[in-house]
Amino acid sequence: MIDRRNLLRQMVATAGAAFGSPLLPGITQAASKVSGGGPKRVIFFLQNQGFDPKTCIPAGMTSSGSLAKAKLPEPIEALEPFKERLHIINGLHGLHTSPSHSAFFGALGGYRGSDGVPPSGPTIDYDLSKVLPETLLPHLCIGMDSMENMKAKPTVANLSASGAGQPIFMHSNPNHLYQMLYGGISQGDIRKQHEARSSMFDRIEQLAAAHGKALPMADQARYGQYVQGFHDINGLRDRLSGVSEHLRKFAPKVDDRYTKPEFETDWHDVLLDLGVSALKSGITSVLTIGSGRGEIFGSWKGIGVEEQGHNLGHMKQPENPIWIKIRQYNSRMLVKLMEELDSVPEGSGTMMDNTLIVYTSNNADAQHTSGATWPVMLLGNCNGVFKTGCFTQLDGTRPINALYATILKTAGVGCDRYNMSEKMAAKFDSGTGPLREVLV
């Protein structure tokens, strides 16, 4: 365990490295040692309703090869200037996750998932947050949906988990997330709301802890997780206040998109801004973005898409003007992530040089799917560790778990299999260890 003082000093050292110079001279932290390969931060971006491979594989490419002379399909054409950083992968599978209508926690966990079924183990984003350089908030999840859903359910848990039966919530109301991250350095109404919520959370933690002792022993452990959640929120608030001056450099400007959004995409955009700021400031090392929040819902009226929710999954994606708009919107978000991280010096390069972005879907290739093919796009080579500028066609015999084991290995964790028993692997995995096709 790390005590609060050491954690604060480490966080400031990390943030200083991201900003270009240490804020506390003499304090050395793992994230500032940007030598060698492997990711120092990872971003997972999952778009619901499936990721049809025809929307990302260049026309005429049926086998593995370079993207240098290929033209990217219209849905991802915004990535054309970044082809040398792109790796399109087709032929992984998720047959064992039951991804039809979403694999939910199974999409990032590599295990069977379903609506209303709790996670059976941790997900790859959480596991990475435990091994990457330590930050104040190791893992941040944001979820984008229709305005009605984001207001009615400002937090929801469908994609990420810290363990069996332990879901991690996504933040969908940017006003609440802003208050959590930057309320302590804000003025006016935001500061008042932050203080009011902080006082409320303090009181709830105290009451919950006291009442939990009276529960039967069988219920105390489960109730303890509830109490721990408020304890973590309150502890994070205190830790953030300790580096308030540093955070001022990265806090996004609050405008009408927060308080008077015209469309749900206004909130999508500012949620992305908050995620970017958390990465650039060093608050977090793992960002998970759930567009559609891991279910079959979602709305994109702000980009001219009137259809929403379940109906979108019943449309063929290739050459569909509606899905072209949604995927182009995603691609612009990916470009923004890369450009923002490229703007921050780190080591001998930039933050993007040490970042891996994983773009895929929680529904494999389609809303109604067996999971026989699960397309993925990787962005970033992490100092030459990952192959980029290419398309790889696999034979469909290796699961998404193999990709997750590969990322863990590049982060310094030996992992022949991820969340897959030998018995399960005998049926669903033709190999063991990392995907050689992904690594240099």
pLDDT of residue 136: 87
Average pLDDT, the chain: 86
Gap between the Cα atoms of 113 and 336, Å rounded: 31
Please tell me the least confidently modeled range out of 17-21, 75-79, 233-237. 17-21
Residue 417 pLDDT greater than 60, yes or no: yes
pLDDT at position 336 over 90? yes
295-331 tens-digit pLDDT: 999 999 999 999 999 999 999 999 999 999 999 999 9
Phi, psi of 311 (to 5 degrees): -60, -30
pLDDT of amino acid 7:
39
pLDDT band at 247 (very low <50, low <70, confident <90, very high): confident
pTM: 0.86
Residues contacting residue 324 through CB under 8 Å, at least 6 positions apart:
55, 74, 75
For the ranges 237-251, 261-275, 394-408, which has the lowest average pLDDT?
Answer: 237-251
284 pLDDT more than 60: yes
pLDDT value at position 187?
Answer: 57
pLDDT tens track for 190-219: 555 544 455 544 554 455 556 655 556 656
Beta carbons within 8 Å of 36's beta carbon, 6+ residues apart: 383
- The token pair that represents 328 in the structure block: 């182009």
**Tokens 């992984």, located at residue:** 92
Question: What are the tens digits of pLDDT across the range 173-195?
Answer: 999 999 888 886 655 665 555 44
Q: Quick check: 26 pLDDT over 50? A: no
φ and ψ of 46, to 5 deg: -115, 120
Q: Which residue has the higher pLDDT, 34 or 375?
A: 375
Helix segments in 50-167, DSSP class H: 106-109, 124-131, 147-152
User: What pLDDT, on a 0 to 100 scale, did the predictor assign at position 141?
Assistant: 97
> Three-state DSSP class for 258?
helix
List the single range of 9-23, 39-53, 87-101, 243-257 with lowest mean pLDDT: 9-23
User: For strand 286-291 and strand 139-144, is the pairing parallel, antiparallel, or unpaired?
Assistant: parallel
State yes or no: pLDDT of 18 exceeds 70: no
Average confidence (pLDDT) over 162-176: 94
